[in-house]
Amino acid sequence: MYASLRKEWRSRDDRAEALSIERMTQWRRQGAVFRVSRPLRLDRARRMGYRAKQGYVVVRVRVRRGGFSKPRPRSGRRQKALGVVKHKVNVSVKREALGRALRRFPNLSPLGAYWLAEDGRNMWFDVLMVDRSAIKENREW
């Protein structure tokens, strides 16, 4: 079953693209860090260690796309916060999504993240997190 799910995600037909566009219009209205009830890509989530039980949390994170730098202001006063640096060069967009989820849910530990969708302006990731105090059998952590 998981192999067929993976195959479906890799071979995107027109119906899947239309569904993805419809989902992204809903996701744009939500917050940048939004808790969801279950993962969208179950095969990836299960490979990262997700289980459908208490203590596991799935968060959808929106990260802005774009280059590493914004042009400096050429005229006028200089702001204190220039906003010149958008993304850090040594931090991937996925790592940025993990950091945002950690800032929103500081009591949870991240299991991992995977790509969901992207448009011209944003990228969305599912971030899997676990409440270690709620899990009885603490395996490998």
Please tell me the total count of domains within the chain.
1
pTM more than 0.85: no
CA dist 86 and 136 (Å) reads: 40
Is 73 part of any domain? yes
CA dist 32 and 96 (Å) reads: 12
Is 7 part of any domain? no
Write out the residue range of the structural domain in which residue 58 sits.
27-130
Is 50 part of any domain? yes
Is 82 part of any domain? yes
CATH number, domain of 60, equals 3.40.1120.10
Is 13 part of any domain? no
89 alpha-carbon distance from chain centroid: 18
pLDDT at 71 over 80: no
Q: Can you tell me whether residue 106 is helix, strand or coil?
A: coil
Is 75 part of any domain? yes
pLDDT tens sequence across 25-41: 999 999 999 999 999 99
